[in-house]
Amino acid sequence: MRLLTAADVCKLMEYSGLSLEESSNSVVHKLTESGAEGGIISIDSHGNISAVFNTKAMARGYKTREISKTIKIYKDN
């Protein structure tokens, strides 16, 4: 295991005060810099959802009380 992406997102939020989206973007940027491809789907304690990736596509889906069922594959959909 080269990178601990989930732990890094949590640490950035806790110690740097970054939002979930900012932390996730930072971690995926670190993936890109290391030559790795991937992404992270994360949810914070407030129910905010983030899905950040550096690949062409990443399947993901979610549903909350406020958001109807959402299914996505590409960045722009």
Sign of CA dihedral 71, 73, 76, 77: negative
Nearest of 24, 12, 77, 76 to residue 50 by alpha carbon: 24
Is residue 8 within 8 A of residue 27, CB to CB? The reply is: yes
- pLDDT per residue of the chain (77 residues) written in tens, 0 to 9: 467 899 999 999 999 999 999 999 999 999 999 999 999 999 999 999 999 999 999 999 999 888 899 999 999 86
Looking at residue 76, what is its pLDDT?
A: 81
Looking at residue 2, what is its pLDDT?
A: 62
Looking at residue 55, what is its pLDDT?
A: 96
Q: Is 55 helix (H, G, I), strand (E, B) or coil?
A: coil
Looking at residue 3, what is its pLDDT?
A: 72
List of domains in the chain: 5-74 (3.60.20.30)
